[in-house]
Amino acid sequence: MDTNKILNELLSATITFRINVSDTFEFACADSEAVDIDDIQAMLPLIEQYGPDAFTAYVAVKRDMEPISCQCCWDGPGYQKAKEEILKLKDSGKLFFT
């Protein structure tokens, strides 16, 4: 078995990545969303380009909901463009949303 495959299986079985979205989709709410390591790999260019907006857009697409509207930072072009790119990845089957 390939060493990288073994490492990937070990990591996916023992480490969970979560995106902190507290107070992003609901007021006064501690919240996070699990993200598959394969999804992180597919999103690396978007994370580099859009920063935290890429994570918020990922959760918005995964949950099929928008962040609360009073947080004007989610209305910016970075979030909207990241969301468009994530929708393209989803439609192409490159995101798994586990």
> Model pTM?
0.81
Residue 59 has pLDDT above 70, yes or no: yes
Helix (H, G, I), strand (E, B) or coil at 29: coil
Per-domain boundaries in the chain: 35-98
Q: CA 59, CA 25: separation in Å to the nearest integer?
A: 9
Residue 72 has pLDDT above 60, yes or no: no
Top pLDDT among 63 and 69 is at 63
Helix axes 37-50, 3-14, angle to 10 degrees: 90
Residue 71 has pLDDT above 60, yes or no: no
